[in-house]
Amino acid sequence: MADFPDVSASSITTDSWEPFVEEGREMGQVHFLVQKEGGLMAGLWRTDAEIGAEIPYNVTGSDTFHVLQGEAELETSDGKKINLIAGGIYSFPDGFSATWRTRSPFVKFFVIA
């Protein structure tokens, strides 16, 4: 995209994923399209029912994503549950927290701002 220096483009290969580690624990793999100062990030994240069986989900900024594959469930501290399904588009505000439980191999395209 040399003609458009502000445009980001990417393609996925088997070796273009990197471990996504938070709080010292691997929580899946990520492929970043954009990572900018100030917190803007966009890309793909994937996990499976083994690694993502039960992980903390804590939003800093806002997290908006489109589920491309799989199913997962979010459970808030007060017991409310949100089912995440392929084709669904979700947006969570700064400070949202829940427990993430992956039900099947899961892939999402995300934008964090």
Q: Evaluate if residue 19 carries a pLDDT over 80.
A: yes
What is the mean predicted confidence (pLDDT) over 51-64? 92
pTM above 0.85, yes or no: yes
Q: Which CATH architecture has domain 22-112?
A: Sandwich (2.60)
Confidence of residue 1 (pLDDT cuts 50, 70, 90): low
The four Cα atoms 15, 102, 33, 35 give a dihedral, to 10 degrees, of -110
Q: Evaluate if residue 63 carries a pLDDT over 70.
A: yes
Confidence of residue 13 (pLDDT cuts 50, 70, 90): low
Residues 6, 69: Cα–Cα separation, whole Å: 29
* In the chain, where the domains are located: 22-112
CB of 75 closer than 8 Å to CB of 44: no
